[in-house]
Amino acid sequence: MADSLGIVILAAGKGTRLKVDIPKSLCPMLGKPLIDHVLSNLDSFQNEYELQAKISVVVGHKKEEVKKSISSNWADVSFVTQEEQKGTAHALQCYFEQNKDAWDSKYTLVVCADTPLIGKEEFGKLFKALQDDEDAQASAAVFNTPNPTGYGRIVMGGQGFDIVEEKDASEDQRRINLVNSGLYFFRTSHIKEHLGSIENENKSGEFYLTDLFKKSFNVKAVNYEDSYKFLGINNLVQLEEASLIKQRNIILKHQLAGVRFINSSSCYIEESVEIGAGSVVYPGVTLEGETTIGQNCILESGVVIKNSEVQNNCSIFANSYLEKSLIKEDVRIGPMARIRPGSEIGAGSKIGNFVETKNAKLDKKVSVSHLSYVGDANIGENTNLGCGFITCNYDGVQKHLTTIGKNSFIGSDSQMIAPITLGDEVYVASGSTINKDIPSGGFGIARGRQVTKEGMAKRFLKKKD
């Protein structure tokens, strides 16, 4: 049996007004392409109302790129091609031509790819308005705005209303503040009856979908108070505006769940991020992707964390940068540390300033307090790596592993020429370049012997005139 609701997302347009080289529907907003926001809002709507509609996206400009991006996250979405963009009504025509089953759906929902804030409540209200009025043929979401520039104006009259695009509007019509959001529900029979007769006699020479609304039709304009939800992204100013609105809601959710922000407006937190109660976020923090922060953590200013897990009671000090890593509980990192992909920092460990780790597994209570590089390494519990410790992991072709056991002490300014293995309770003297394995309990020293000549310094100390 065919679905009683078909969903079409219009995404074939160039997005010329954005003035960027990527298709508008893929423009990033809070870490996700614009259209992914629309798709996930539709998903929530369908879950809430127990619907299982088929979703089709009309693609055109850079269609392969758009299809690839959407398919990678949304397996059930299908595509319709609009080779030449002749307007929104033409886009809908392409949908029905390439999707014959779509005529069987009782209702058709049309939404633009550039309205990322329309949520399940807005979809639900508009759907209900049409379902509850058996005589109505379509419902359009409209709202009042002090700045109607760019939107189609709603001109009420007769049984319904006209939607007049900005370009075609008279002076008087341009002063109308009631505008079209670009979200509609139709009885599919209404589309079948009128879509074919839409003409392109207007300033743009385009076939307007908005011509499915007329004063002579029984169509409903459903007014929404929360006009910001319908913000359409046509330029980069609106993109930032929508992004900040969504960001505010994300932060609000964390604040109400017990996360303390010192200056939330300066932070960038993506929707996928989780933060435990009791944590404090300083100004200018960036948290991206699949990132989880535990309870009672401190994230100081300038911290950037991407796709990482930071467990409870950690302090990440100013300007530290973490990527694809696991930080276990009670760890201190930074200031100014770089934790690169594949790092696993054991509970109670300490990573100090100007330390870089990469693909490094540090067990519990390891200390790397200053100026070090720990790459491709396994470091045992309770081992101390002194200031200026370096794993020489790369021979110019391949990366090699450094293994150091537990309870060891590696003196400052030591290098490990990998591959190399040091056992437990090893002691390495400062300034050593270690290129041979050291067994457990062993002492290693590898540096030139010191020679001291008394009184000889004056030969080298130059006198200042």
Footprint on this chain of ligand UD1 (rule: CB under 6 A): 10-13, 24, 58, 82, 85-88, 90-91, 112-115, 151-152, 163, 165, 179-182, 208-210, 232, 234
Closest CB to ligand UD1 among residues 154, 299? 154
CB of 13 to ligand UD1, least distance (A): 3
| Residue 123 binding: pick among ligand UD1, Mg ion, none (C-beta 5-8 Å cut-off by kind) | none
Residue 37: active-site member: no
Give the whole-angstrom CA distance, residue 279 versus residue 300: 11
- How far is Cα 109 from Cα 9, in angstroms, rounded to an integer? 8
Closest approach of Mg ion to the CB of residue 93, in Å: 19
Residue nearer to Mg ion on the CB measure, 140 or 303: 140
Concatenate the DSSP letters of all residues of 298-366 into one string: EE-TT-EEES-EE-TT-EE-TT-EEES-EE-TT-EE-SS-EE-TT-EE-TT-EEEEEEEEEEEEE-TT-
d(CA 93, CA 71): 23
Q: At what angle do helices 63-73 and 34-48 cross, to 10 degrees?
A: 40
Considering CB distances under 5 to 8 angstroms, the limit depending on partner class, which of ligand UD1, Mg ion, none binds residue 151? ligand UD1
C-alpha separations of 212 from 102, 106, 135, 215, 422 in Å: 17, 17, 16, 10, 77
Helix (H, G, I), strand (E, B) or coil at 48: helix
Nearest residue to the partner Mg ion, using Cβ: 232
122 binds, among Mg ion, ligand UD1, none (CB under 5 to 8 A by kind): none
Work out what residue 179 binds among Mg ion, ligand UD1, none; the CB cut-off runs from 5 to 8 Å by kind: ligand UD1
Tell whether residue 232 is a contact of Mg ion (CB under 5 A): yes
In the complex with ligand UD1, which residue's Cβ is closer, 65 or 425? Answer: 65
| Single residue of 36, 114, 300, 309 touching Mg ion by CB under 5 A | 114
* Active-site hit among 61, 194, 370, 400: 370
Q: Is 211 in the site for Mg ion (CB under 5 A)?
A: no
List, as one string, the DSSP characters of 214-247: -TTS-EEEEEES-GGGG---SSHHHHHHHHHHHH
Q: Is 116 in the site for Mg ion (CB under 5 A)?
A: no
* Residues 6+ away with beta carbon under 8 Å from 158: 214, 215, 216
Rounded to the nearest whole angstrom, what is the least distance from the CB of residue 173 to ligand UD1 in the complex? 12
How big, in percent rounded to 5, are the helix, strand and coil portions of the chain?
Answer: 25, 30, 45
Cα 335 from chain centre: 25
Shortest separation between residue 120's beta carbon and ligand UD1, angstroms: 19
210 binds, among ligand UD1, Mg ion, none (CB under 5 to 8 A by kind): ligand UD1
Answer with the entry of Mg ion, ligand UD1, none that 56 interacts with (C-beta below 5 to 8 A by kind): none
What is the C-alpha to C-alpha distance for residues 122 and 332, in angstroms, rounded to an integer? 45
Q: Give me the least distance between CB of 271 and ligand UD1, in Å please.
A: 21
Q: Which residues are catalytic?
A: 370
Site for Mg ion, rule CB under 5 A: 114, 232, 234
